[in-house]
Amino acid sequence: MTKEQYLKMRNELLAEVDGLINGGDVENANTKMAEVTALDNQFEAERTAQANAAALRGAPVVNLSSVTAPLMDGPEPIPVFASFGNVTTEAELHERAFYNFMVNRPSTPEEKAVFDQVNTDYRNAVQTATDHQVVIPETVTAKIWQEIADAHPVLQDIFKTFVPGDLTLIKDDDSITDAEWIDEATSAEGDDVGFGTVELTGCELPKAVDVSWKIKKMAMSDFLNYIARKIAEKMGNAIAKSTFTGKGKPGEGDTFKAQPKGVVTALNAEAGTPQVITFATADPLTYKKITSALAKIKSGYLGSGAAIYADNATIWNELANVLNEMGNPYFVPDPTGAGVGRMFGLPVKEEAAAEGNILIGNYGRGYAMNVNQDITLYQEDHIKARTTTYMSYSIIDGDVVTNKAFALIKKV
């Protein structure tokens, strides 16, 4: 009914109510008032229905044909991650399909097509036929590397290359003499141009993360962030440690596995250890010992990118307690800068991988790291334990380009 019809009928009923009350017929008056209430309810119901119908006419039509998973009854229906709109990039499809793969949920045909193509291309490129290894989406890989860099300043300072397969880097030979000025009557002195090389052939780095099935019920973005953080924690610890104390490639009779070679390892192995300064409890760390270490670094490497690396205990037990003649520390806390403080014009960076060593130098220019194969993932479900193991796998190598970019202060 229209509003005009409603008001007309209501007024007529109210007039009858008034007549009955005035005539003393209260019982019939109450009956008529009930009719007024019923009329009000009917009009309100019709108005609500009209508003809902208008809203439906103005809303977009949902295409249910794009939903490929069946609707199911039960306490845990399978979520369907089909998009009712247009997906803008293949990266989004790959990320959704990767998430569905990790939590054992179905993907849309579009997501599955992108997922299969990415992994097929990867397997063809690395010449492997395994179906268990999957490519991690670039967005997730970027999160992993960022988490690693945030936790380990040394890995933030190293310039990494991403060259598949073996990589040979050419470095200058520090023993080459400088060119000399001459006049027309003087013949030029010959000098062979010498170069050294750094061979980065790759070292395998698998790291496993166990996740309970309850964790897999998290929303996609939260779950992927969680997995990225856990993988980054384990990978980052291993990679950062290798840049300090990694043993390098095993020789004849060695039993350790191939790993990147660390700066501390290289400096300790050098004949006569010219880049190493020592101190002890009876011979504590002093201003002179630190300046002697700085003097061992070749000119040019103490500029942009140079830093002092030490773990938390060493910073506060050793570096922060080196005092001048007035009893003031040389170390200046500055958590707003690149590290936890500054000393001799250099940022002091807290790096757990330093493990008691004080390493001064320039990792950006004095160390090379190549990711021969970026991070991929394996997974395995454990039904009895109700857990899933995700194993990240990558091939990484690193080595010192020049010892002259570093100086080591160690406690003996």
Would you state the pLDDT for residue 81? 45
Check if the beta carbon of residue 273 is closer than 8 Å to that of residue 264: no
Locus of tokens 């991690």: 136
Would you state the pLDDT for residue 75? 45
pTM of the model: 0.71
Sequence letter at residue 311:
D
> Pick from 366, 357, 333: which is nearest to 347 by CA?
333
Which residues lie closer than 8 Å to 167 by C-beta, 6 or more apart? 161, 199, 200, 201, 370, 372, 397
Strands (E), 186-259: 195-200, 203-212
With residue 146 as reference, give the H or E element that holds it: helix 138-151
Q: How far apart are CA 102 and CA 380, in angstroms?
A: 10
Q: How wide is the angle at C-alpha 131 spanned by C-alphas 129 and 135, nearest 5°?
A: 100
Q: How far apart are CA 275 and CA 178, in angstroms?
A: 23
Provide the token pair at 140.
């997730």
Q: CA dist 239 to 30, 155, 156, 225, Å? A: 87, 8, 12, 20
Q: How far apart are CA 343 and CA 331, in angstroms?
A: 5
Q: How far apart are CA 216 and CA 209, in angstroms?
A: 13
Which residues lie closer than 8 Å to 134 by C-beta, 6 or more apart? 98, 101, 115, 119, 376, 377, 378
Residue 44 backbone zone (phi > 0: left; psi -120 to 50: alpha; other: beta): alpha
DSSP-derived letter for residue 62 is P
Rg (CA), the chain: 36
> Pick from 406, 364, 160, 157: which is nearest to 266 by CA?
406
Q: How far apart are CA 85 and CA 153, in angstroms?
A: 41
240 burial level (CB within 10 Å; 0-12, 13-18, 19+) = buried
For 306, phi and psi rounded to 5 degrees?
A: -80, 150
Q: How far apart are CA 142 and CA 160, in angstroms?
A: 13
Q: What is the DSSP string of 16-55?
A: HHHHHHHTT-HHHHHHHHHHHHHHHHHHHHHHHHHHHHHH
Would you state the pLDDT for residue 244? 97
Provide the token pair at 9.
């009928």
Provide the token pair at 385.
């334990």
Q: What is the DSSP string of 246-282?
A: -B-S--TT--SPP-PBPHHHHHHHSTT-TTEEEE-SS
The segments of the chain whose pLDDT lies below 50 read 59-85, 87, 129, 175-176, 193
Q: What pLDDT, in 10s, does the model give residues 296-327?
A: 999 999 988 999 999 999 999 999 999 998 98
Q: How far apart are CA 142 and CA 94, in angstroms?
A: 14
Q: Is the dihedral of CA 112, 117, 118, 123 positive or negative?
A: positive
With residue 101 as reference, give the H or E element that holds it: helix 90-102
Would you state the pLDDT for residue 174? 55
Would you state the pLDDT for residue 64? 41
Q: What pLDDT, in 10s, does the model give residues 222-247?
A: 999 999 999 999 999 999 999 999 99
For 350, phi and psi rounded to 5 degrees?
A: -75, 115
Paired with 346 in beta bridges are 343
Would you state the pLDDT for residue 131? 56
With residue 366 as reference, give the H or E element that holds it: helix 363-366
